[in-house]
Amino acid sequence: MHFILKKMNKFPNISRINPNSLDGLNHLGRFLDKAQFISGAIPSNQDGSHDPWDHLEAVMGLTTLGYNIQALKGLHWMSANQNEDGSWYNLYQDEEPLELNKQTNYASYIAVAVWHYYLLNNDNDFLEDFWEPVKKGILFSISLQHSNGAIAWNIDEFEKIDEDYLLTGCSSIAKSFECAIAICQVLGHQNYESEWKIAHSKLITSLEHPSGIFDLQKDRSRFSMDWYYPILGGINSKERIASLIKKIQDSFWIQGLGIKCVSDEPWVTVAETSECSIAYKKIGEDKIALELLQNAIAIVDGKDIPYMGWQFSEKIYWPDETPTWTSAACILAADANNQLTSGADLFLKQQFKS
């Protein structure tokens, strides 16, 4: 089949996923649908738990494939479980909070999922319905913005602010701000639009000039996300983008396999490979982007559901899990590469009008 990379024989299973059409991905939509709880929660871990970010990624996978009823159930779960301060807790078992700390990138990411649903359905009433949870989530994140533009990553269960700023998390927040501004422009919330554009600009500046700002308490540079997420988050500096891409190619990209999660482990992961595919697509490296997408969809179980990753030293799928958000990342990467829906440019282009 033409969409399977040559060298596919290094994996025990042969993928039959066709990323060139929505039909070729539809079994992933059925997988996400089957995983969803009655409440709308979409578990992402083997024990049935989930965090809000992974949940929303799965919602966007459902939206892409036209599972609108299920996607709306997932978004309504977010509304029903939002804290008064606009946040969500770190981990849930269905609707029961398991970890009571509150991450800023979790709070803001609802804006991306809501805007994505709007791009595919063009429903202003839907935007109105979800304006309040989007607004509250964005305001929670902005309330923790430093004067240098970065945003503290977490408030612990005792309401103490964790004074560290995660590069990957802030990159995700930058995209969330961008989508929230786009929502403001559709709904006519000009005051919030003006305020959020300032916060967004400050955050992008910090991501383009990160020295001494991020990951102050722990060095996370061994994680590939730190190197491609700023591109997905919307940075514009060509010099900064070039340095990020060089690092990816030098430390994380295993040609023929995909993107390593961490630089010092022989482990390529499907979600990181899918997301990095979108980053390459965004900078115009279409051939590499497509190769990475094909790498990602090759790491599957016997039902063509993506595993978390492939340990290429031991030549095993590891761990023996098929997380929902991993399938969603593949769906979003397929859409970005092959322009399957009206939401395909979500991570490829700035979403608000300057």
Q: Say how far apart CA 44 and CA 32 lie, in whole Å.
A: 10
pLDDT in tens, 182-224: 999 999 999 999 999 999 999 999 999 999 999 999 999 999 9
Closest CA to 42 of 65, 25, 58: 58
Instruction: Kindly give, in sequence order, each residue whose CB lies less than 8 Å from that of residue 30, ignoring residues fewer than 6 positions away.
Output: none
| Bond before 133 cis per omega within 30 degrees | no
- Say if residues 266 and 309 touch (Cβ distance below 8 Å): no
What is the share, in percent, of the chain residues with pLDDT greater than 70? 97
Please report the pLDDT score of residue 10 as a whole number. 72
Please report the pLDDT score of residue 3 as a whole number. 30
Q: Say how far apart CA 177 and CA 133 lie, in whole Å.
A: 14
Please report the pLDDT score of residue 341 as a whole number. 98
Closest CA to 142 of 101, 189, 174: 174
pLDDT in tens, 146-181: 999 999 999 999 999 998 999 999 999 999 999 999
> What sign does the CA torsion over 124, 129, 130, 131 have?
positive
pLDDT in tens, 75-105: 999 999 999 999 999 999 999 999 999 999 9
Q: How far is CA 176 from the centre of its chain?
A: 10
Which residues are paired to 92 by β-bridges?
A: 50, 97
Flag the least confident range among 8-12, 141-145, 248-252, 311-315: 8-12
Closest CA to 101 of 83, 113, 114, 78: 83
Please report the pLDDT score of residue 7 as a whole number. 38
pLDDT in tens, 67-77: 999 999 999 99
Is the confidence at residue 4, as pLDDT, over 60?
Answer: no
- Say if residues 176 and 138 touch (Cβ distance below 8 Å): yes
Instruction: Write b or e for each residue in 305-324: b if 16 or more Cβ atoms lie within 10 A of its Cβ, otherwise e.
Output: bbbbbbebeeeebeeeebbb
User: For all residues of the chain together, what is the average pLDDT?
Assistant: 96
Is the confidence at residue 38, as pLDDT, over 60?
Answer: yes
Which residues are paired to 316 by β-bridges?
A: 311
Please report the pLDDT score of residue 283 as a whole number. 98
pTM score: 0.96
pLDDT band at 11 (very low <50, low <70, confident <90, very high): confident
Which residues are paired to 269 by β-bridges?
A: 309
Please report the pLDDT score of residue 304 as a whole number. 97
Q: Say how far apart CA 161 and CA 50 lie, in whole Å.
A: 23
Residue 38: exposed, middle, or buried by beta-carbon count in 10 A (0-12, 13-18, 19+)? exposed
Residue type present at position 73: K
> What's the mean pLDDT in 10-25?
93
What the chain holds in terms of domains, given with CATH numbers, is: 1-24+242-354 (no CATH), 36-220 (1.50.10.10)
Is the confidence at residue 284, as pLDDT, over 90?
Answer: yes
Q: Say how far apart CA 232 and CA 225 lie, in whole Å.
A: 10
Q: Say how far apart CA 330 and CA 334 lie, in whole Å.
A: 6
Is the confidence at residue 118, as pLDDT, over 60?
Answer: yes
